Amino acid sequence: MHGKDVELQGVSMVFGDVVAVAPTDLTIRAGEFFSILGPSGCGKTTILRMISGFLTPSAGRILIGGEDMGDIGPNRRPTALIFQNLALFPLMSVWENIAFGLEARGMPKKARRERAMELIDLVALRGHEEKRTGDLSGGQRQRVAIARALAVEPAVLLLDEPLSALDAKLRQHMRAELKAIQRKTGVTFIYITHDQGEALTMSDRIAVMNKGAVEQVAASDRLYDDPQTPFVATFVGEQNVFAGRVIEAEAGFALLDTPFGPLRGRNRDGLAAGASAVLCVRPERMQLVNGALPDNVISADVERRDLEGPFVNLFLKRNEESIVLHLPNRGAAGRELSGEQQIGFSADDGLVLTSGRLARD
């Protein structure tokens, strides 16, 4: 099996007067584990259905392996889709499900069964091949769906939130398994999810979507540390957001006037003085000031302390604006924290972005 690249050129989708997907350009490389991440209703499933051929784009072209898919129906595209509810055929056995795509290609029954058994081994379902899919557990059903999709040797595997029906523990396990299968087969995976944990752990690259538009495409680390827009910054992981106006812009950094006083952060986008902006700082990049003063120092009152386990969420407040810190759990040492505290962060850990819509709005 070899993956192919998928290219969206100005693809858009309009239902009536609702724009589900704004004109989008996107290139997914061959053999890549690519995720599309976004809140529900952001258009990610629409993109998936357009790539698989169940929806025809209102405008634009979709190319797979350089070939225009314009007139090619879903049954002749080199893609396979794993449905959110898996859509296993209830009246067929496990191996018949897996061999269905081969049957459609006219492969004789004996060869079909052999090939199905190989895949059954790949997804570790040996011994279940004659069962009806209704008699399997959630994880096993998941594996049947994967094997069924892989059986047709697709160049591109499309996955529509396939883990959402599983419980948390099984979901963790299936992440690793999916990643391993992708490595082993070299097939291009396009994975749709609203769960950022899934996207960050499995993907080579992630596209973040909001309201029908792709806001950023990047590898996990880049996405987390260098978000392009306030939406991406706040949708992926947690952020402390300080809104304000740029009062001083210099080489690489900018000073913002915020309700907590002037704060300095990276000015990657070169905002000029007077621009309306937000300063984003991750909760785990802030510390309690203890001795040496960092670039930015803020005073706020401790409101609440929540134990997460390995770390502690510390909520502070000043002038109706709240701040959250993730502090490593050091046992008894931090338990008595209260009253006004000095907190600080380095200017390298703050990112100044042009004001825009946040994920929590």
Partner 1 sequence: MTELVRSYGRPLTAIFIGLTTLWILGMILVPQLFMAERSFWVEEKPNDISLKIDRAYADLSTMKFDLARAEGPGKDEIAGRIEAKKREIAGLEEQEKQPRKVYTMRNYTRMSALHFQIFLRTIFYAAMVTVLALVVCYPVAYAIAQVATPRRAAFLMLGLIIPYAINELLRVYAWLMILDYQGVLNTMLDWIGVTDLATQQWIPFLQSPGAVFVAMVYAYILFMVFPIYNTLETLDKNQVEAARDLGASTWRIHWRVVIPYAKPGMAVGCIMTFMLSAGSYSVPQIMTRGTSGDWFSQTIYRQFFESNNWNNGAAYAFTLLIVCTLFIFLMMLVFRVGVRDIAR
Partner 2 sequence: MTAAADAGTVAVERAPARRWSNQVLNLYLVLFFVYLFAPLLVMSAAAFNSYSYPSVTQWQGFTLKWFVELTRDERLLQGLWNSILIGFGVIAVALPLGLSGAFILTRLQSRWSGILYGVLVSPILTPGIILGIATLIFWRNIGVAGGLFLAMMAQATFIASYSMLMFMARLQRQDRALEEAALDLGASNFMVFRRITIPFLAPTIFTAGVIAFLQSIENYNTTVFAIGGNWTLVTEIGSRFRFGLSPVINVIGVIFVALTVVFAVIYVALKERERRARAALVG
- Should residue 73 be labelled a site residue for partner 1 when binding is judged by CB under 8 A? yes
Task: Please give the Cα distance from 78 to 154 (Å, whole number).
Answer: 5
For residue 54, the minimal CB distance to partner 2 (Å) is 6
> Is 101 or 265 the residue whose CB approaches partner 2 more closely?
101
Instruction: Tell me the torsion sign for CA atoms 128, 134, 138, 142.
Output: positive
Among residues 10, 54, 114, 176, which is the contact residue for partner 1, using CB under 8 A? 54
Separation CA 109–CA 59 (nearest Å) = 42
Distances from the Cα of 240 to the Cα of 51, 154, 264, 285, 351, angstroms: 37, 43, 14, 10, 11
Amino acid at 172: Q
Near partner 2 by CB under 8 A: residue from 2, 41, 87, 338: 87
310, interface contact from partner 2, partner 1, none, CB < 5-8 Å by kind: none
Q: Which of residues 149-188 bind partner 2 (CB under 8 A)?
A: 149, 151-152
Whose Cβ is closer to partner 1: residue 55's or residue 174's?
A: 55
Which one of 23, 39, 60, 74 is in contact with partner 1 (CB under 8 A)? 74
Amino acid at 102: L
> What's the closest the beta carbon of residue 54 comes to partner 1, in angstroms?
7
Please say which residue, 58 or 164, places its beta carbon nearer to partner 1: 58
> Which parts of 56-75 interact with partner 2 (CB under 8 A)?
73-75
According to CB under 8 A, which one of 41, 61, 67, 89 is a site residue for partner 2?
89
Q: Which of 14, 83, 253, 268 touches partner 2 by CB under 8 A?
A: 83
Residues lying near partner 1 in the complex (CB under 8 A) are found at 54, 73-74
Residues lying near partner 2 in the complex (CB under 8 A) are found at 52-54, 73-76, 79-81, 83-85, 87-91, 100-101, 103-105, 148-149, 151-152
